[in-house]
Amino acid sequence: MKLDGHDGPVKLKVFDSLFVPLAKWSMLLTGNYRCITPEDPQAIRDAVHGDLKVSQSIYDHVDAIARKLGADPEDQVPFAKYAKAAESLLKPSSAARAVAAGAPFIERVDLLVKLISHQLGMANAHIDRTVDIVDQKLNERLESSAGI
pTM of the model: 0.85
Domain range summary for the chain, segments of one domain joined by + = 17-145
Beta carbons within 8 Å of 79's beta carbon, 6+ residues apart: 26, 55, 56, 59, 60
| Half-sphere exposure in the Cβ direction for 47 (13 Å, CA) | 30
The CATH architecture annotation of domain 17-145 reads Orthogonal Bundle (1.10)
For 18-34, the pLDDT digits (tens) are: 666 788 999 999 999 99
For 52-86, the pLDDT digits (tens) are: 999 999 999 999 999 999 888 888 899 999 999 99
What does the chain come to in residues? Answer: 148
